[in-house]
Amino acid sequence: MFKILNETFRTGIVTTGYPAAAADIAAGFRGLPRIDFPAWRDARPAAEVCPTDAISAVDLGGVRDVTVDYGLCVFCGLCAEATPEGAIQITPEFELAVEHRQELILSAHYGLNEDGSHRDLISVRPGAAAVEPAAERAGRKLKEQISATLGRSLAIREVDAGSCNGCELEIHALNNPIYDIERFGVHFVASPRHADMLLVTGPVTRNMEVALKKTYLATPEPRLVVAVGACGISGGIFGRNYASLGGADQVVPVDVYIPGCPPRPQALLQGILMAIGRMKQALHLST
C-alpha cells in the first residue's frame, strides 16, 4: 500500500492542459492531409492509392474534376507518398470537427495536358471549417458552455453501431487521468434516457439500424448526435454494402462530424464543444 502511494506521489499530475494549452502531439502523428491545389501536378496517383476513395479524379472533355472527402479519409498518408511534388503534406492537425457534412468535402477543377497531368487550376472550392484549426481553445470554455447551456453536467451515451473499436479506445481515453474529461463536467452514462448527447461510432451495420433509431428516440430532447470517425461519418473503409448502411446520418440526424481514424481524444473534446454550441441554438429556438 505504502509503495503504491509513494509511486502515486512521485508520478505527480499527468493530466494534459489541453484545451487551455496546445496539445502535446507525438512526432509522426498523422492528421489532416493538406493539399496545395495550385502545386498539384496530377491527382491520379493519389486517387489510385487512396483506400477509401476519399480522393477521386474524373476526366471529362479535357477537364479533371477532383474531389477530396475528409469524411472518408483514414489519414493513412498513402496519397502524400504517391505525390512526389509534395502537393499533399500530412500535417498534425486534428481539430477538424464540423457541423455540416459538406464542409468536409473539397473540390477542384483542372485543365489537362495531353499526358493527363494538370495544366492549370481552373477553380477550387474549399470546405472552410475542415481545414481551419478550431478557434476555441480556452480551458474553461467547455465547462462554461456546458453549465450555461444545461445548467449542469453533460451526459453522453456512446453507441457502437458497428465499429472496429478503434474509436472506443480513444473515447475510453477521455476518462483516463491524462485527458480526464470529467474535469469539464462531462460524463458517460449507461442509458440514453439519461443522456444529452449520443456519440456514434462505426459504419451503421444493418443489425444496428433499429437499435440506433431506438436509442435516438429514447434520448430526451434537445438531443445531440455526434458522428465519430471516418466510419461514423461516411462508413469509412466499409462504405455502404450488404452489411453496412454507411454513416450515422443515414439513420439519425447528426449535429457534428469528427473526422479521424480514430480521432484522438483532443479531437473528440473539440467536437463535443462544437456540439454544445448547437445545443445552445436548439434551446434558444425552442424558447
The one among 54, 181, 200, 233 contacting ligand SF4 by CB under 6 A: 54
- Lookup result for grid cell 473528440: 268
Rounded-to-integer distance, Cα 143 and Cα 163, Å: 29
Q: Which range binds ligand SF4 by CB under 6 A, 14-22, 71-79, 130-138, 143-151?
A: 71-79
The one among 41, 44, 77, 137 contacting ligand SF4 by CB under 6 A: 77
Residue 49 CB, shortest distance to ligand SF4, in Å, is 6
The answer to whether 73 contacts ligand SF4 (rule: CB under 6 A) is: yes
Residue 31 CB, shortest distance to ligand SF4, in Å, is 10
**Size of residue set near ligand SF4 by CB under 6 A:** 14
For ligand SF4, the closer of residues 49 and 282 by Cβ is 49
- 229 neighbors 167 (Cβ within 8 angstroms): yes
The one among 23, 55, 66, 98 contacting ligand SF4 by CB under 6 A: 55
Q: In what order do the strands lie in the sheet with 154-160?
A: 186-188, 154-160, 197-201, 224-228, 256-258
The one among 18, 40, 75, 184 contacting ligand SF4 by CB under 6 A: 75
Helix (H) or strand (E) holding 6: helix 2-11
Instruction: Record the cell numbers describing residue 273, joined without a space.
Output: 464543444
- 248 neighbors 212 (Cβ within 8 angstroms): yes
The one among 23, 74, 228, 273 contacting ligand SF4 by CB under 6 A: 74
Asked whether the bond before 19 is cis by omega within 30 degrees of 0, the reply is: yes
- 142 neighbors 154 (Cβ within 8 angstroms): no
For ligand SF4, the closer of residues 19 and 246 by Cβ is 246
The answer to whether 52 contacts ligand SF4 (rule: CB under 6 A) is: yes
Rounded-to-integer distance, Cα 257 and Cα 265, Å: 14
Instruction: Record the cell numbers describing residue 274, joined without a space.
Output: 462544437
- 204 neighbors 238 (Cβ within 8 angstroms): no
Binding mask 32-51 for ligand SF4 (x = CB under 6 A): -x---------------xxx
Segment 4 to 33, residues that bind ligand SF4, using CB under 6 A: 33
3-class DSSP assignment, residue 154? strand
For ligand SF4, the closer of residues 259 and 265 by Cβ is 259
For ligand SF4, the closer of residues 71 and 222 by Cβ is 71
3-class DSSP assignment, residue 148? helix
- Lookup result for grid cell 485527458: 179
Helix %, strand %, coil % of the chain (to 5)? 35, 20, 45
The one among 78, 154, 195, 267 contacting ligand SF4 by CB under 6 A: 78
The one-character DSSP state at 225 is E
Rounded-to-integer distance, Cα 111 and Cα 64, Å: 6
The answer to whether 76 contacts ligand SF4 (rule: CB under 6 A) is: yes
Q: Which range binds ligand SF4 by CB under 6 A, 5-13, 69-77, 178-186, 196-204?
A: 69-77
Residue 71 CB, shortest distance to ligand SF4, in Å, is 10
Segment 142 to 161, residues that bind ligand SF4, using CB under 6 A: none
For ligand SF4, the closer of residues 46 and 227 by Cβ is 46
Contacts to ligand SF4 by CB under 6 A: 33, 49-52, 54-55, 73-79
